[in-house]
């Protein structure tokens, strides 16, 4: 009885290792094609549009409202300690270091990761991936590499905009609702914000972008079994990307800020 339990646990561990190995090999192959010709620039620009431009509205709205809520919550919390003046620094540090990249990552994972998995998954189950191979085109090079590169580049660009809009949201609430002086608020924001805060957020964004594309491509590429399989791949891509974003957020925060 106990041996059965150990065997089951062993099988689960082995399967997890196998899955991690498959994912790692897929990622390495996809990344290696970024540096080896031929390069598919049209596929790359299309992926940049999908990930960057078309995600802009949802990321912008999320950032503005997050900045507004942060300012409001900070005001009610910090006023208990007569520390209202720290609102500007709290908003800018929270947004640039943490909330900008994480929330943008989660939003893009839901929007783009799902779409990637669905598109590549549908191509897989309708033989379009095989058709690529018969037309002198490596599917990893044509479908995966451009998306990985686009995720790596587009998410930091989105996060720059999210950072600005998040701070703007805090500024709007602080000046229009909480009665802060606009010049003082901006001065506090710029005084407390350091290069490392922004850079760490952008590095996180690049890693999250890569993870989102990787999960979308990996689950889509390996989907099987028709519409149900594509649906399962889409769900798996979003869930895996979201969990990995939160896990890597902790790891990167440790690397940047732990003393």
Partner 1 sequence: MTTAPKIRLRGVCKSFGDKLVLDGVDLDVMAGTSMVVIGGSGSGKSVLLKCILGLIEPDAGSIEIDGQNVLAMDRKAREAARARIGMLFQNGALFDSLPVWENVAFGLLAQRKIARATAKAKAVDVLGQVGLAGSVGDLWPAELSGGMQKRVALARAIAATPEILFFDEPTTGLDPIMGAVIDGLIVDCVKRLGSTAIAITHDMLSARRIGDQAAMIHKGRIVWQGDAYGLMESGNPMVDQFTHGRRDGPIQMELRK
Binding residues (CB under 8 A) for partner 1: these are: 38, 119, 123, 126-128, 130-131, 133-137
Nearest-approach distance from CB 122 to partner 1, in angstroms? 8
Nearest-approach distance from CB 172 to partner 1, in angstroms? 40
Question: Cα angle at 258 between 255 and 259, to 5 degrees?
Answer: 125
Nearer CB in complex with partner 1: 10/38: 38
Nearer CB in complex with partner 1: 143/240: 143
Cβ pair 185, 214 in contact under 8 A:
no
Nearest-approach distance from CB 2 to partner 1, in angstroms? 30
- Could you give the 3-state DSSP secondary structure of residue 138? coil
Interatomic CA distance for residues 216 and 197, integer angstroms: 29
Nearer CB in complex with partner 1: 82/136: 136
Nearer CB in complex with partner 1: 53/257: 53
Enumerate the H helices of the chain as residue ranges: 2-34, 41-51, 56-78, 87-94, 100-108, 114-125, 128-134, 139, 145-176, 182-192, 195-221, 226-257
Nearest-approach distance from CB 31 to partner 1, in angstroms? 18
């Amino acid at each position: 009885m106990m041996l059965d339990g150990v065997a089951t646990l062993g099988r689960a561990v082995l399967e997890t290792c196998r899955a991690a190995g498959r994912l790692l090999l897929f990622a390495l192959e996809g990344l290696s094609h970024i540096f080896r010709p031929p390069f598919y620039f049209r596929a790359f620009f299309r992926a940049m549009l999908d990930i960057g431009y078309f995600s802009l509205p949802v990321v912008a709205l999320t950032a503005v409202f997050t900045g507004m809520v942060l300012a409001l919550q900070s005001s009610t919390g910090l006023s208990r300690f007569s520390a209202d003046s720290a609102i500007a620094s709290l908003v800018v540090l929270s947004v640039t270091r943490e909330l900008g990249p994480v929330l943008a990552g989660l939003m893009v994972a839901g929007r783009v990761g799902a779409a990637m998995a669905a598109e590549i998954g549908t191509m897989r189950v309708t033989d379009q991936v095989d058709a690529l191979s018969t037309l002198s085109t490596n599917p990893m090079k044509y479908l995966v590499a451009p998306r990985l590169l686009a995720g790596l580049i587009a998410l930091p660009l989105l996060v720059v905009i999210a950072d600005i809009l998040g701070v703007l949201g805090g500024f709007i609430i602080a000046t229009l609702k909480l009665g802060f002086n606009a010049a003082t608020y901006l001065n506090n924001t710029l005084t407390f914000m350091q290069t490392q805060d922004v850079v760490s957020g952008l590095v996180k964004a690049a890693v999250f972008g890569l993870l989102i594309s990787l999960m979308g491509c990996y689950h889509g590429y390996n989907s099987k079994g028709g519409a149900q399989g594509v649906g399962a791949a889409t769900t798996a891509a979003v869930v895996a990307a979201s969990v990995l974003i939160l896990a890597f957020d902790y790891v990167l925060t440790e690397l940047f800020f732990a003393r």
